[in-house]
Every structure is written in C-alpha cells, then in structure tokens.
Structure 1
Amino acid sequence: MTGPDPDPARPVEHPDPLPAVPPRDAGAAGGTGAPGGGEPAGRRSGLRNPGAAVRGLGAGTLGLEALVLLLAIQPIRLVGGHFGGAAIAATVALAVAAVLLAGLMRRPWAWSAGTLLQGLLLLAGLLHWSLFGLGVIFALVWAYALHVRRVILG
C-alpha cells in the first residue's frame, strides 16, 4: 500500500490544467463578434484563415493532379496506340494548366477553371483510356475539394 485511503466525505480537489480564458471582445483585433458573444461571424470552421486553407486545398489538389499526369506520360507512350502522340501532348498541356491554376487559386474564377480542367481531362479519355480513368479519379477528388470549400466558407 502506498498510503492511506482518501476520506470519502472530503471532496477531491483537482488542479485546473488549463487557465480560464476570458471571452474576446468583439471589437478587439478587428473581429466582428456574433450576437450573444458566440464565435466571430466569419469563423464558422475554427480555422484562423479559412480562405487560405481552402486555397491551399485547391492548389494542393491541382499540384498533385499535375504530378500524376506527368508520371502518366511514360505508360501512355508505351501503350499509347495510334493516338499516343496526341495523348501525350494533351497530358502535358493539362499538367501545365493544372500547375498554372494551382498558382492562381487566389482568383475567384480559378475554382470554375479547375472544374473545367477536370472535364477536359475526362474528354482526353477519348485519346487514351488511362486519361479517362485519371479524369474520373480527379473529378471525384475535385468534387470533394469543392464540398470542403462550401462547408468551410459557407
């Protein structure tokens, strides 16, 4: 035994692991508070900068898409068939467009252009079946990114 049993009649005191944080003033740091002292009106997600987080998600998705497209060139070249050259050219063009769009995610039209890029990748499936497969995969990933964008930004 390590010591006497605690007295059941006496309440056990636990140290507070976190200090109490006073609520933020609605006018402090330029924030606009929600009525009733709740969360600030522009921060539904709890992120410090939700717009930047969503732009990062879009840019990361497009960057990953560009990388996968560039890695797909060699298999397309080996089993390309009679549309091999056109499929490779389309793949390079789509990868370049994805990189450019990833850098332009601050623009409001970039999300629509990203959606158009996914449609173009699906259409490139007419040149090679693997591009259609990549188009389906990245269309689903892009749809999820759009969903996350809508949930975070409202």
Structure 2
Amino acid sequence: MSGPEQPRRSGLRDPQRAVRGLGAATLTLEALVLLLAIQPIRVVGGDLGGTAIGAVVALAVVAVVLAGLIRRPWAWNAGTVLQGLLMLSGLLHWSLLVLGVIFALVWGYALHVRRVILG
C-alpha cells in the first residue's frame, strides 16, 4: 500500500496562527526583558551609557513592531537580524551579548518549531 505521501498534520486547528503567536510572544518577551534589564545592568555592570541605553530601547521598540508584523513572512527574517543586532550591541556592554545569545537560541527554537509545523 504505497500511495501518495500525506503531509504531516500538526494537530493544531490553525497552525499558521499558532506559529505567529509563538513568534510574537518571543519578540514581545524579548522587548520586555530588554527594557527591564536596563536598570540592573546600570547598577551591577556600571558602564551602561546613554548610547547603550538608546540602543537597548531601540531594539526593544523594533522587537515590539516586529511582533505586530509577524504575519508578514519577511518579519521572521527581520527577527533573525534583530537577534544579530542584539548580539552586536554586546560591543556596548557584555551583558547585552549574553542577552543576545540567549534570545538568539530562543528565536532559533521558534524558527525550528515554525519549520516543523508549517513545513
């Protein structure tokens, strides 16, 4: 009995919506963590200047905007670029590199889930 291979079903009612929700939640959480991390980094780490704070706020705003635009296919690629920019901001303060690596791993997992569910 070898018939045409059926596409894998995820069991989700609306897989597109579920994947978009995962991407939006990931980006929103990233924005929240970035904004909440400013003060502890300043207190513990010291040298977080105005440029670094501006970069963190800008990255958080971009993350929120991308979370709202996650329906667009290019937003997933832009989210990947955002992770690279966050890691690059590690040049301003080492803790931003740590956050960048953590969120790059989380984003990579979200991309993996997207690929598995949507094919």
TM-score computed with the length of structure 1 as normaliser: 0.71
Q: Post-superposition, which runs of at least 4 consecutive aligned residues in structure 1 deviate over 3 A?
A: none
Q: How does 1:61-140 map to 2 (within 5 A)?
A: 61-78=26-43, 79-81=45-47, 84-140=49-105
Q: How does 1:42-61 map to 2 (within 5 A)?
A: 44-61=9-26
Percentage of identical aligned residues: 77
| Larger RCO: 1 or 2 (CA < 8 Å, sep 6+) | 2
Q: Partners in 2 of 1:140 and 1:74 — Cα distance?
A: 24
C-alpha deviation, 1:49, in angstroms? 0.5
Cα RMSD of the aligned pairs, angstroms, is 1.7
What amino acid is the match of 1:86?
T
Larger Rg belongs to: 1
Unaligned runs of 5+ in 1: 1-34
Deviations 1:41-93 (A, max 9, x none): 5x610110000000000000000000000001102333342x52111111000
Q: Partners in 1 of 2:51 and 2:37 — Cα distance?
A: 14
Matched positions, count: 116
Aligned to 1:6: none
What amino acid is the match of 2:110?
A
**Secondary structure of 2:73 counterpart:** coil
- For the 8 Å contact 1:80–1:128, the answer to whether it is kept is no
**Secondary structure of 1:147 counterpart:** helix
Give the helix-richer structure, 1 or 2: 2
Q: Partners in 1 of 2:20 and 2:92 — Cα distance?
A: 31
What amino acid is the match of 2:13?
R
TM-score computed with the length of structure 2 as normaliser: 0.90
Q: Partners in 2 of 1:106 and 1:100 — Cα distance?
A: 12
Q: Partners in 2 of 1:73 and 1:97 — Cα distance?
A: 16
Q: Partners in 1 of 2:95 and 2:38 — Cα distance?
A: 10
Q: Partners in 1 of 2:64 and 2:38 — Cα distance?
A: 16
